[in-house]
Structure 1
Amino acid sequence: MSSDERIYTNFSRLSLLAKKGRGLSWRPPYSKISPLSGLQKSSQRGRGLDFVELRHYFDGDDVRCIDWRVTQRTGQAFIRLYSEEKDKSAVLLIDLRSSMFFASDGVMKSVLASELAAIIAGRIQVEGDRIGALMLTDTHIESHSAMRGEKSLLSLLEKVTQLGGRLPAQGQIEPPSLDDALHLLCQQKIKESQIFIISDFVDFIDKTSRALLSQLARHNNIIGLRVSDPLEDELPNSNVLMGDGLLQLEINGDNGQLRQRYNRFTIEHNQGVENGFLSIGQPYLALTTHKESWQQLFSMSSARRR
């Protein structure tokens, strides 16, 4: 496996991004609000009855939770967190199939997806919420039980690193579909949770995928994060040679008719994915392999605050 972080991510890189994610001025929107708004505080931990933990104050925390005695004694701001009646959690659906092992520049889609998951998980973990995950691979759907705490976060990052490091799949394998993963989430009967779906959505089917999203949205909030490479969305005028380690495909850039058909198809497909989320009132974000993961999420967070 290559040590190039543009091709394969590593545990150290994901751990660093998870730490950066703690400072992101955004919390999982358990109410139906715009993503990355920085206005909604998780209702998992707050000013309830049972003390849970004492931690450092982060920008945007409820100042009413500050423990002034500890703050005065240490010289650093600390807040007290208490459990409330309802136990909320977040679930990450991370696509790590071979279709994600692609990039024309920047990082592989699988790397970008892993990094986005790490940043989001880091932000959730600092809130004290439980983090569960489904990782969609070429052979199976890997589960990570919903738990809270640093140990659970690091275990998740290790799983993501290992599964991403196995790409691309060798041989003719029929991977599980996005619908398979969505159906599994529906079977788990998750309620009052925030679900993040990080994928290229190449096998999003307008009728079935949208129906599964709608079923999940009845009791949960969903954010779709589409990971893509510019070359996938629009073919260039020049010749392109692509390969997966086993097969190669040469595309003639002079074939205007082919390019037009391809570009029209991708526009319609991508619009269908976006409409699938918007039609059920759930947010949808588009991210690219040509830009750094942290900067993209940070920019979106900053834009929502203004």
Structure 2
Amino acid sequence: MTPITEVEGRRLALSNLDKILHPATGTTKGELLHYYATVGAAILPHLRDRPVSFLRYPDGPDGQLFFTKNPPPGTPAWVNTTPVPRSDAPGARQVMIQDLASLMWAANLVVEFHTPQWREDSPAVADRLVFDLDPGPPANVVECCRVALHLRERLAADGLTAYAKTSGSKGLHLLVPLVPAPSEQVSAYARRLAVEAEAELPRLVVHRMTKALRPGKVFVDHSQNAAAKTTATPYTLRARRLPTVSAPVTWEEVEETGEARHAHDAGAPGRLAFLMNDIAPRLEAYGEMLAPLFDPDAAGVLP
């Protein structure tokens, strides 16, 4: 029998709670739902008012994975949707996760949450800039931290403040709050900084996606600033072998990891890997490290 629970006045059928999604840790779907209920106050501001895309992994990361922008079949009428400009699908709509009930409904589908850099009332006008730092083995998060520190200084020279989070996979994301600007302009600026970083750190950075260029270097992916692109939402679980989270980190943690004498110092790559059970204690210890993303006074003007 599927248990019915009530969340903020909405009745939800939560299914297969004992199903193991991550065999390596024995993590069940019930534990995944508990995670989202626990961190709802932290993740919801990052989801709210943005069209959400889902990477679904209902049978765990080893099962079928499929990415969807369309509202899933059976989406309840009370879950908000918004029209989105899509050249491939005129009249398209996407889900918005506006409250805890919507969050728990979506979490029951077993999804990664992905969001664009703009809000639904201003399509293609970004209120944040993002860099996705993706290491090409044997490079790892240690090299990503070194590149992140370089970009942080470069952004600061233009009056912009960067905040860091893990990707939940191998790399780091940098997020920069902006006075809203057209996505095209943000994309052009981000690309310029990625090209500059490669010129200044040629042994460490590559700005093009070409796989052959990437071994041992950090790909500074600037493309997610395009209006049509999305990035893993802060605090989302990822469809990985372990129940990893895209988790905010302090610049002190980035500096300590980047200062590892050798990228392969014992334990260095694992310093910035956080599982779902790590997040509530981190929120208690550090608070919401990405809160400045919602502070208009923290937003920088794109040069």
TM beyond 0.5:
no
TM-score, length-normalised on structure 1?
Answer: 0.25
Bigger-Rg structure (1/2): 1
Higher helix share: 1
TM-score, length-normalised on structure 2?
Answer: 0.26
